[in-house]
Amino acid sequence: MNNVLKKATFAGGCFWCMVKPFDQWDGIHRVVSGYTGGHTENPTYEDVKTGTTGHYEAVEITYDPVLISYREIVTIYWQQIDPTDDGGQFHDRGDSYRTAIFYHDTEQKSIAEASKQELDASGKFAKPIVTSILPASTFYPAETYHQDFYKKNKQEYQEDRAKSGRDEFIETNWKS
């Protein structure tokens, strides 16, 4: 059977920390680090870091909807971020580190909006959920050295993640 693969795109702060959580699920074919949502064509990491391109650091996930649903992927996404922080994520501050769900079609938009409303209504967080839900636009893959960073640069990845505060936040707010 020839399944049609789909795309899902999320910004959750540093893209290094957003690859591994998705990479380990059945049905996820590929997770690419990159840039999206801005106005600069073919931006580089150095361009995006300036905060003038409008781009978010993001991941583009290619998945098989027969094996993993978009709703499941959105649920995984929420559990990687602080959805109440509009100034970046953890120790990464600035516009390029904001959170956003970039939808590729009306079904994804509906699922993302419903999921955000459910999270907001759940009372899990005292502050409002500020993660944006935006139409997907051109996704620019990041430089090769950023791809699969957690695999290729294990020690640097672990050190960066350890000092970010992300794991403590996840443990406190998302683990039951």
What is the distance between the alpha carbons of residues 54 and 164, in angstroms, rounded to a whole number? 23
What is the distance between the alpha carbons of residues 173 and 176, in angstroms, rounded to a whole number? 8
Which residues are annotated as catalytic? 14
Q: Are 10 and 18 in contact (CB under 8 A)?
A: yes
Residue that the structure tokens 């931006």 belong to: 43
- DSSP per-residue string spanning 32-85: EEEEESSS-SS--HHHHHTT-S-PEEEEEEEE-TTTS-HHHHHHHHHTTS-TT-
What is the distance between the alpha carbons of residues 161 and 147, in angstroms, rounded to a whole number? 16
